[in-house]
Amino acid sequence: MNGLEIRGLTVTVAETEILHGLDLQIPDGEVHAIMGPNGSGKSTLASAIMGHPSYTVTSGSIVYRGDDVLTLSPDERAKKGLFLSFQYPQEIAGVSIGNFMRLAMNARSSTPLDIPKLYEKMQLAGKQVGLTDAMFDRGVNEGFSGGEKKRLEMLQMMVLEPSFAMLDETDSGLDIDALKTVAAAVNAMRSPNRSFLIITHYPRLLDFIIPDKVHVLMDGKIVRSGGPEIAKELEQTGYQG
């Protein structure tokens, strides 16, 4: 399958099993959303796909475009096109956004980086997400508001152009304007050759990013899958309804 295929994924954190034999398929070109209450395993799934060392895969498989992701280091997964937007982006004091993006692009490219073209691309993405050029000289997320951090995550996604992007509760704590900015960035990047996994508690983000499929994750397993109407239903009934 061209896309992501997860079979029987079991993941532990500090010897506690969080995911219990999870199955999930996300073909290229599709946007899938995973919804579920706190503690259901949503962030664990994203971290396991990206290769966070604190998350141990004890059984199952993660295959992306025919390659076994579990044999790859996190940086190799990123080079393959995987991207994760964090729920709580970290500050990197002393590393400017411009240098951070230059290093990230250099790590992914086998050819010399065209610095003027990179900054032109950053400027264009900055205009789309509401970040000024002057901010590129600041440390990554240093002194940023919550909304600015999420906007910077979207800028990174737009510049790096991953083939598989995961947004881990990117809508958490955002006002409506920032929420629309995040949604616009995702919608602008939708493509037959790119897929997305949107992880969220609430259906409001899915009013602006219409997913192809919605999955409900409860107690470490996907208990239901269907169309975007599931999100509307959950808004009315809740997860225990």
What is the tens place of the pLDDT at every residue in 28-54?
A: 999 999 999 888 999 999 999 999 999
| Residue 85 to residue 71: CA distance in whole angstroms | 22
| Residue 154 to residue 167: CA distance in whole angstroms | 9
Task: Read off the DSSP letter of residue 27.
Answer: E
Q: How confident is the model at residue 1 (pLDDT cuts 50, 70, 90)?
A: low
pLDDT at 235: 82
Q: How confident is the model at residue 177 (pLDDT cuts 50, 70, 90)?
A: confident
pTM of the model: 0.93
Whether residue 131 contacts residue 155, with contact meaning beta carbons closer than 8 Å, is answered with yes
In which residue are the tokens 């169309």 written? 227
pLDDT at 59: 97
Domain that holds residue 27: 3-237
pLDDT at 210: 95
**Residue 156: CA atoms inside 13 Å, Cβ hemisphere, count?**
27
pLDDT in tens, 54-71: 999 999 999 999 999 999
- What CATH number does residue 193 fall under? 3.40.50.300
Question: 156-188: b or e for each residue (b if 16 or more CB lie within 10 Å)?
Answer: bbbbbebbbbbbbbbbeebeeebbebbbebbee
Amino acid at 25: Q
Domain count along the chain: 1
57 or 115: which leads in pLDDT: 57
**Residue 119: CA atoms inside 13 Å, Cβ hemisphere, count?**
10
